[in-house]
Amino acid sequence: PSDRRRIELVLPDLYLRLTTDSGVFSGQRIDPGTRFLLQELPDLTEGRRILDLGCGYGPIALASALRAPDAEIWGIDVNERALALARENAGANSITNTRFCTPDGVPPEIRFDRIASNPPIRIGKSALHQLLGRWLDRLTPTGVAHLVVQKHLGSDSLASWLSENGWETRRLASRKGYRILEVQARRGER
């Protein structure tokens, strides 16, 4: 059942009031990994099109939209309640450069300059690898992804898997058990 609540995302450069609900990731508060990613995320203004993979109620996508007002921000999720909240939160914060949809709602020709994500690690390794492979291969040739992953949930093994499969990956930052992985677009054919 629904249990809507209001939370705030406060960072040095932005403020968002967000509505959350039961049945969405981290509905009680901004997830610490999400907060860490938003604090450490490199400048987004070079990206013309940015993807938040597993957007939930929208904190990463909406913060990205404020930081890169000329970019087109896409947020995708399989949770319809989360997508409805993300749309509602965009409207409530007067953010107009976002699109929220299920993964199948993104036209196949769309490519992304940036991906910023707290990916759904708990879906399992095989499903996660399939998900990341699908979307990392939609980066532009100079595109880059920033993924925040808890160390004890496999950030180091994920970084190894990404590198072994052609996506040059490095640890950008680490704090309190979280790692931010910077992933380059895959070069050439595997």
Q: pLDDT of 27-63, one tens digit each?
A: 889 999 999 999 999 988 888 999 999 999 999 999 9
Give whole-number Cα distances, 135 to 2, 90, 91, 172, in Å. Answer: 31, 23, 26, 20
Positive or negative CA dihedral for 90, 93, 94, 95?
Answer: negative
Q: pLDDT of 69-106, one tens digit each?
A: 999 999 999 999 999 999 999 999 999 999 999 999 99
Token reading at 75: 């947020």
Q: With cut-offs at 50, 70 and 90, classify the pLDDT of residue 186.
A: very high
Measured between alpha carbons, how far is 30 from 5 in angstroms, rounded to an integer? 12
Q: pLDDT of 138-165, one tens digit each?
A: 999 999 999 999 988 888 999 999 999 9
| pTM, to two decimals | 0.94
